[in-house]
Amino acid sequence: MKKKYIYASMIAACAAVFSSCSNFLEENPTDAFDENEAYANENLVYLNAVANLYNDMDNIMGSDRRVYDMNTFSSDEAFLPCRIGDWEDGGLWQNLHLHRWGTMFDLSRDSWNYLYEKVGHCNQSMEKLEALIKEQPEADYLKNYLEEARAMRAFYYFYLMDLFARVPLVTSSSVQMSDVEQPERSEVFNFIKTELETALPYLSDAKSNQSGVYYGRFTKGVGYFLLAKLALNADVYTDDNWTDGVMNRPDAKNVMFTIDGQQVNAYEAVIKYVDKLSAMGYTLEENFSDNFSLTNENSNENIFTIPMDPSSYPGNHTYNLTRTMHYTHAVAYGLNGWNGSCATKTAMNVFGFGTDKEDPRCKLSYYTGAVYGPDGDQLVLEYGGQQLPFEYAPMQAKVYMESGDGVYVQTAGARMNKYELDANAGADTDGGPLPHNDMVLYRYADAVLMKAEAKIRLGQSGDEEVNQIRARVGAPAKQGVTLSDILDERLLELAWEGWRRNDQIRFGTFTQPNADRYVGVKHSASSLDYQIDETGYTTVFAIFNDVLLLNKNLKQNPGY
């Protein structure tokens, strides 16, 4: 048999189609090894055909200027204020929050390229596994690996569809640019749904978030959660004309899923998938904060996480805590701080900050008020030649902080306090932080709230599910929970977890003005201001203009 060789550094086959790089296939490999040896047993097949699909997943949650930022800082949950020029970055972050990103937006380009690179890896893996199945039809594990790769491809396509709507479905690593077509969003939705339903029976029952062979991998519970999320947003994802108003969306009750041989509508599917998660043993942790602790791989609530063990997963890092903490605050704990991201006033109002009805999760999710060091003493902030008691000021945050805002330029905004601080966190060669807390992508509490919402949309009561969530943190029970209550509850429970844009679009509030983004907000040195999006075109990001120039088959999203 003729020997075949594979290379230690895999190329991204889709890059030719969607990236401005023209030399993506020009490689000069210095290390090659015998393919027969690379796929000699089950473990080696996993390492060489599946493991790379999970590389760089911090670009979904913890990396700077990627998917998480687009989903969080475009919403009413959080932003990165310009603090007298600091964090303006050419208007990048202010454009994001004010929904003025246009067609040459770096975050759109970077996230698009990353997600399609991962789709390319999935395609390569699936093709290799299909070839191995033909050679070794008796090796059952190969089919399991193939379906795991299929599920991961659907996972990456979910984010592409959610961010960009009409995205090309590339299912081959040998695709030519001229052959690529751009289906409607509803077609992409059906593709993802079918791919997940196909893969589901072959996925492991193991809990992905817990240590073991399937740690950090796409397992059955992850599939149930993603299908529930897909079903909950069915009216959005099957809407191919999203600029004609929320009221004209398709009815999710007419979108069908097949579960255990039974046809059910999208909202019924949400309930069934969440019940399957419960049957697998996922449950609410008694302590809310255990889901974000340094040892959160022991959680029975977390469903899909990004492993953050610096020794075993040195490539994964998160900037979320680094980016939010003031310099003085971070240094006190031996960390690096950038004094950037903070909660909006809108979010603080939902949490009831400063009132006698403040939600218990406010203190569990944010640093507010006095800031203390590890010794328990309040920190001191040096400002204007003075030493002042250090206090964060949640209600002073605004898109542009200027000299007239005084000390608030430094201290405005409640800061992220959801993940336990890791005083022993290392740093990679680029200075990226390497804490031990796994980054939470999917959590059972989210699933419970999805079930509550689905029940209400079906005309049933969601009180039981919502009050399970509230009771866990000691919040008072609610009666007659409404959809508006659900939207607030999702912010209270899921702040900083990357779902707020998704939620606001579903509820029709994403384009509305609020306490932080209102008509007339303007920077004295800039023409940037907020204009109400009357059509909803900003619920979908623009395809980066350079991508369109590379492929004449692709059309820009409406409104851009």
pLDDT per position as a tens digit, 115-163: 999 999 999 999 999 999 999 999 999 999 999 999 999 999 999 999 9
How many CB atoms within 10 Å of residue 174? 9
Query: Rounded mean pLDDT of 345-366?
Result: 98
CATH 1.10.3720.10 fits 11-19+39-202+535-560, yes or no: no
Which three-class secondary structure state does DSSP give residue 226? helix
**Nearest Cα to Cα of residue 420 among 304, 308, 283, 313:** 308
- And the tokens for 94? 């202010």
**For the domain bounded by 209-307+438-507, which CATH number is listed?**
1.25.40.10
Place of tokens 């979320």: 320
Query: Rounded mean pLDDT of 206-219?
Result: 96
- And the tokens for 104? 């040459």
Q: Do domains 11-19+39-202+535-560 and 209-307+438-507 have the same CATH topology?
A: yes
Which three-class secondary structure state does DSSP give residue 383? strand
How many CB atoms within 10 Å of residue 29? 11
Query: What residue segments make up the domains of the chain, in order of their start?
Result: 11-19+39-202+535-560, 209-307+438-507, 320-421
pLDDT surpasses 80 at 168: yes
pLDDT per residue as tens digits for the range 35-61: 778 899 999 999 999 999 999 999 999
Q: How confident is the model at residue 523 (pLDDT cuts 50, 70, 90)?
A: low
Q: What is the DSSP letter of 379?
A: P
Distance set, CA 357 to CA 40, 316, 324 (Å):
62, 38, 26
Place of tokens 């996925």: 203
| Secondary structure in 3-state letters for 96-145 | HHCCCCCCCCHHHHHHHHHHHHHHHHHHHHHHHHHHHHHHCCCCHHHHHH
Q: Which residue has the higher pLDDT, 513 or 28?
A: 513
**Per-residue DSSP letters for 37-98?**
HHTSSHHHHHHHHTGGGGTTTHHHHTSTTSHHHHHHTTSSSEE--EETTBTTGGGHHHHHHT
- And the tokens for 39? 């796929």
Burial 49-68 (b: 16+ CB within 10 A, else e): bbebbbebbbbbbbbbbbbb
Report the DSSP pairing between strands 82-83 and 400-401: parallel
Query: Rounded mean pLDDT of 390-413?
Result: 96
pLDDT value for 528: 59
**Per-residue DSSP letters for 425-457?**
-EE-TT--EE-SSPEEEEEHHHHHHHHHHHHHH
Contact 191, 167 (CB under 8 A): no
pLDDT value for 479: 98
pTM across the whole model: 0.94
**Nearest Cα to Cα of residue 351 among 463, 473, 533, 461:** 473
Query: Rounded mean pLDDT of 61-84?
Result: 96
pLDDT per residue as tens digits for the range 301-337: 999 999 998 777 777 889 999 999 999 999 999 988 9
pLDDT per residue as tens digits for the range 94-128: 999 999 999 999 999 999 999 999 999 999 999 99
pLDDT value for 3: 32
Question: What span, in angstroms and rounded, lies between the C-alpha atoms of 60 and 54?
Answer: 11
Place of tokens 């789709």: 119
Question: What span, in angstroms and rounded, lies between the C-alpha atoms of 405 and 411?
Answer: 10
- And the tokens for 536? 């909803």
